Amino acid sequence: MAELGPVTSSGMCMKQTIGNYASRPVYAVEAEARTHEALELMSEQHINCIVVLSHHEPVGILTERDVVFAANWLLGQPGLLLKEVMNKPVMTAAEEMSVAQAYRIFCQHRIRHLVVRDASLAMSGIFTQTDLVRSLLGEALVGVRDVSQLMSPQVLQVEPHVPARYALSLMARRSVSCVVVVDNDRPVGMFTGSDVARNVAKGVDLNAVSVSSVMSSAIVTTPATSSPLDTVGLMLKKSIRRLLVVDEYGVMRGILTRTDIGRILDYQPAGLVSHLLGGPDY
């Protein structure tokens, strides 16, 4: 675990701090706890990440994507400890750190989360790639014609009758947080990391149930030609984690997730990113 301090700059965007945009509250569990306990907390609080502590200090993080791997192992090892499956290390940063420096840290260390500390060094929030885009939303989408440029065109699909364990294994192998459940070429639901956490926490035997019986049935769609600003803004405002992108005939063409949103700046020219973040000091 490394703690990072704030930097200053004369750029306008540099004045934005991660404390203004961090997601709250922070949920944390000790590393020696059973992974099952963390999944229960994630399910109860409807959250997609948990900070992992050792002696009350953050040492790692468990995300929805980690849940997929953890649950796959848990079915055979129910006593698995959180420290054995968490994503580590985790970095912490002061609330006063600029958005620009946070972006640089994300790029240099290939991480997606910063645990934010207040003046008393208590954890006050988590700043993510998605929070970064939220802080620069309009500017970050300059030049992006429609959501088809942001979506992932490859969508994992399973039929409703397949065992939920099969869907889980497929997600783990492909390192994704969801699969779309399709019946006669029509999407009828999604099986997500949140569904995994909820059902494992309840003790459901995923080998014995169909994916359709434990999936999330609500699906949000958007046309491939829809405005990136409106669509991404809606996802952030309504806390929508993923939606399906369809063509003019309603045929599924891709999926847009929070992970895709977090990568928006990666698609922009370096010069534009530098400008958005206040100049070459980012």
95-136 pLDDT per residue, tens: 999 998 998 899 899 888 999 999 999 999 999 988 988 888
140 and 267 Cβ atoms separated by less than 8 Å:
no
Has residue 110 been placed in a domain?
Answer: yes
Is the same domain home to 103 and 181?
A: no
Look at residue 10 in the predicted model and tell me its pLDDT.
Answer: 33
Has residue 78 been placed in a domain?
Answer: yes
Is the same domain home to 129 and 156?
A: no
Last residue of a domain, one of 114, 135, 156: 135
Last residue of a domain, one of 135, 155, 178: 135
Has residue 225 been placed in a domain?
Answer: yes
Is the same domain home to 123 and 191?
A: no
Helices (H), the chain: 18-21, 35-45, 64-74, 99-109, 129-135, 137-140, 164-174, 193-201, 211-214, 228-238, 258-262, 264-267, 270-276
User: Which structural domain range is residue 209 located in?
Assistant: 147-265
129 and 31 Cβ atoms separated by less than 8 Å:
no
| Total of domains in the chain | 2
pTM: 0.82
Is the same domain home to 103 and 168?
A: no
pLDDT per residue over 44-77, tens digit each?
998 989 999 999 999 999 988 888 888 877 777 7
Has residue 128 been placed in a domain?
Answer: yes
Q: State what percent of residues in the chain have pLDDT above 90.
A: 56
SS3 274: helix
CATH of the domain at 192: 3.10.580.10
* Residue bearing tokens 């946070």: 102
Backbone phi, then psi, for 271, in 5-degree steps?
Answer: -65, -40
pLDDT per residue over 233-262, tens digit each?
889 888 899 999 999 998 999 999 988 888
